[in-house]
Structure formats: C-alpha cells, structure tokens
Chain A
Amino acid sequence: MALTGLFFLFYLLVHMYGNLMILMGPEAFDEYAHHIRTIGEPMVPEKGVLWVMRIGLLASLVLHVWAAVTLWRRAGQARTNRYVMKRKGYGNFYAKAMRWGGLAILLFVVFHILHLTTHTISIGEPQPTPSQRVVESFSQWWGVLIYVVAMVAVGLHLLHGIWGAAMTLGLNTSLKRAEQIRFVSILVATIIVVGFLIPPFAILLGLVP
C-alpha cells in the first residue's frame, strides 16, 4: 500500500511538472507531449518509456487495490457484531474517506484517460493538438469544475496516504517525528493540488497565450 502509493505520488509530481509546461505556451507543451512519446529513441521504440510507465502504474494500481480490499475484508471479519452506537465524529473525515475517495479517484482517472489520452470524450469542441485540447477543455467552467473536484479528492487522499505510508515504512518513531510527517503530508498534498490547478485556472482566466 505504502510503496505503490509513493510510486503514484512520484508519478503525480512528474505529471504536474509536465502540465505546468502549458504556461510556457502551446509550442512548449506540444513539444513536451511529443517528447514523452519519443524518449530514448532510437534505442527504445516509440512510446516505449510511456508504456513501461503505464504498465508500472497499472501493476501498482492492482497491488494498491488488492491491499485496500484485503484490509477492508479483514476489518469486516474482525468485527461481525457492530456497535449500536458509534462515537460522534470519530476520525478525520479525509482519513475515513480513503476507500470511497480512492474509488472516486479511480473513476476520475478512467474519465481522464477517455478525455485526454484516447479523446473519446471531449469537453467543448474536438481539437487537433494536445495544447488546443487542454485550452479548449479548461475554457469551459464545468471542465475546470470536474478537475477541481478531482484534485481536491486526490489532495485529501494524499493527506492521509502520506501519513499512512510513513507509518507503514516505520518512519514515525517519536512525537516530534509525527509532527514532521503531518507537516510534510500537508505540504506535499498542497503542492500537488495547487500545482495541478494552476493550468486550468490560468486558462479559464485567459492568462495562457
């Protein structure tokens, strides 16, 4: 759970860096979109690195979901007689939302692939280049809204996920260290959410050429 989660986090940081290229203009973004398909050529076939990444992500997803389902199933078996009364407001809401929030993020990822990878769904008019598709999609307020909701879900998932990963990896060894881990999880989750939301808002407000 922790290792696959950290792999997703690493991927998100790379993905965020790529997205921010749109701020440097459509040519830079299209060049980047083309480049990730030709990394390592001619030693590596076209889209080779991309497919290694995709297979790695898919394998991580399977393991991540398998671990989550195992935990869920064990929890169900460990308490077959439920409490009549639960403590009001127990736990952090975002920590309790890991399972349903994770499922929501998975649905968003499916939508996101259909939208900007396979172009099965288009927000606004269909466009020929990657940069034009992104600009067209985020010129629609509801296109921005979908991505804002998704990124908030990702941010909340990370807020508890980074904390949990640090716990699992045995990094929380003192009360002071626990505070540091809390701080890092808030910081990283904020960087991811803000970093991913800069391009959509920049486009919506007409700041991208």
Chain B
Amino acid sequence: MRLALRIWRQDGPQHTGQMVRYDIDGVSEDSSFLEMLDLLNEQLIHKGEEPVAFDSDCREGICGTCGVVINGEAHGPERTTTCQLHMRSFKDGDEIVIEPWRADPFPVIKDLVVDRSSFDRIIQAGGFISANTGSAPDAHATPVRKEDADRAFMAAECIGCGACVAACPNASGMLFMGAKITHLGELPQGQPEREARVVSMTEQHDHEGFGGCTNLGECTRACPKGIPMNVISQMNADLRRAGFGAR
C-alpha cells in the first residue's frame, strides 16, 4: 500500500506544532497501524530525520497506552485501540491525518505523545477501596448479585486510554470517571467510600480543566471497550445522593 500521511509534529510541550506530510510505500495491509508508524520511523532514521514519537506498550489492546486521532476519530475507524487497528481498514492511496489527543488536561509531550497524569490524579482522588491487609478473603465471603457483578465488569473494562476525552467535543473526562465510579460503586467493597469518592473525583476532574458533559455520546462511540453512557448517569445519580447538587 502507498499512503500519504499527515502527522502532527511538535518538538516539546513549549513548542508550537504543525502538520507534516510523509509519503510511505510498501505498507502491508496485514500490518498494524503502529507497525506502519514503525516502518515510517525506520525510513526517517535512515534519512537522518527525527522519528515520530508515539506511545505504545502492550500492543494487545489491553493496556491503554497507545492512542492517536486518525482522520478525526480517536483510535481510528474501528472500535478498538490504535495498536489493534490494522492497515486493511484503509485503502491504497489514502491520505491519513494523524493527531495527538487534543485536550488541555492532556498536554502534548512530543509529537503524538500526551501526558495523561490528570487521569492518574482523578484515580488518586477516589478510585480506590479500603481493605484489610493479610491473607486473601474467601471468594464467597461477600456475595455479589450476578447483575451487579456484570455491570461492575462492564465498567471495569475501561483501560483509561483517554479516547473519550479526545472524542468529546467538550473534552470532558466523564466517561472515564463514570466507569471508575460505576465499577467500584456496583460492588460491596466500594460502598464505604462511595459518596466521598464521587465528590472528590468530580472535584479533581473539574480542577484538571476537563469540560462538562452535554450528553452527545461521542465518548462511548470512540471507546475501544464500548463503555456505555449510563456510567455518566450513574455518576450523576451518586453525586445527587452525596448531596453535591444536580447540574
């Protein structure tokens, strides 16, 4: 496959970036999107140019490290992570526009790499449970209803990649935050801190400068794990119960 790539290049957090065009040939349609970028980088290194910086780790679609906006879509045209996107989703001769997640709470470090520490701080604010240390409790010591377990697992699928923020026209982090709140809130172990959790996570989310939710649903469409919007509504329900006030 022959492709025309337009990639965001930015030297560092303080620099202004711009789109740069690269033509690449000989891309196998069986290669993954990141392997295509690896191929480009090899060619750039041979020419003595600076390779394109991008994040990746497991390349299995489970860690949430990779993620770029491809032709205006977070993680590209398929419902999966960028690493699990394959070049067969594109046609020979296509022009592909590659940009980093764009949100002020996710500042660009270099090229396509963004700093998502703001998500870590939201987790630190309330995404935990208190448990006694010592030997692991028996698995059947605390019964959980099947429906609750299913919903908790559905929300726990979130890998914190940030695609929801990238796709949201308001750059809101509420799908991510709602997933964590639903995940812990559906289980007995999450109950003691439930109300404090939703209040401190929401305060941290707003403090980081994420936008508010206008219920468009672009987040859930972009989510590689298909987390539904009802986790955001769950967050609102918990907030109301905690007396934070409806908004």
A interface, CB within 8 angstroms of B: 1-3, 67, 70-71, 74-75, 77-88, 90-92, 95-96, 98, 160, 163-164, 166-175, 177-178
Complex contacts, A92 vs chain B, CB 8 Å: 216-217
Q: Is the CB of A167 within 8 A of B236?
A: yes
- Complex CA distance for A86 and B73, rounded to whole angstroms: 7
**Given contacts A87-B73, A170-B233, is CB(A78)–CB(B170) below 8 Å?**
yes
A-contact 0/1 string along B163-180, CB 8 Å cutoff:
000010111100000000
- Complex CA distance for A92 and B215, rounded to whole angstroms: 11
Cβ of B232 < 8 Å from any Cβ of A?
Answer: yes
Q: Is the CB of A174 within 8 A of B247?
A: no
Q: What are 17 pairs between A and B in contact, CB < 8 Å? A: A2-B246, A67-B247, A71-B170, A71-B211, A79-B171, A90-B218, A91-B217, A95-B216, A95-B217, A96-B216, A98-B214, A168-B246, A170-B236, A170-B238, A170-B240, A172-B232, A172-B233
Q: Is the CB of A77 within 8 A of B104?
A: yes
Query: Which among A3, A71, A79, A177 is the interface contact of B230 at CB below 8 angstroms?
Result: A177
Q: Is the CB of A80 within 8 A of B104?
A: yes
Complex contacts, B217 vs chain A, CB 8 Å: 91-92, 95
Q: Is the CB of B171 within 8 A of A172?
A: no
- Complex CA distance for A75 and B170, rounded to whole angstroms: 4
- Complex CA distance for A88 and B218, rounded to whole angstroms: 12
Q: Is the CB of B230 within 8 A of A173?
A: yes
A-contact 0/1 string along B182-214, CB 8 Å cutoff:
000000000000000000000000000111111
Complex contacts, A88 vs chain B, CB 8 Å: 72
Q: Whole-angstrom distance from the CB of A162 to the nearest CB of chain B? A: 10
Q: Is the CB of A169 within 8 A of B240?
A: yes
Complex contacts, A86 vs chain B, CB 8 Å: 72
Complex contacts, B212 vs chain A, CB 8 Å: 70-71, 74-75
Q: Which of B58-105 contact A (CB under 8 A)?
A: 69, 71-73, 97, 99, 102-105
Q: Whole-angstrom distance from the CB of B211 to the nearest CB of chain A? A: 4
Q: Count chain B CB atoms within 10 A of each CB in A83, A160, A177 and give the residue with the most.
A: A83
- Complex CA distance for A168 and B237, rounded to whole angstroms: 8
Q: Is the CB of B72 within 8 A of A83?
A: yes
Q: Whole-angstrom distance from the CB of B145 to the nearest CB of chain A? A: 14
Complex contacts, A96 vs chain B, CB 8 Å: 169, 216
Q: Is the CB of B214 within 8 A of A164?
A: yes
Complex contacts, A2 vs chain B, CB 8 Å: 246
Q: Whole-angstrom distance from the CB of A39 to the nearest CB of chain B? A: 30
Complex contacts, B213 vs chain A, CB 8 Å: 167
Q: Is the CB of A168 within 8 A of B236?
A: yes
Q: Is the CB of A79 within 8 A of B103?
A: yes
- Complex CA distance for A71 and B228, rounded to whole angstroms: 22
Query: Which among B169, B171, B210, B215 is the interface contact of A164 at CB below 8 angstroms?
Result: B215
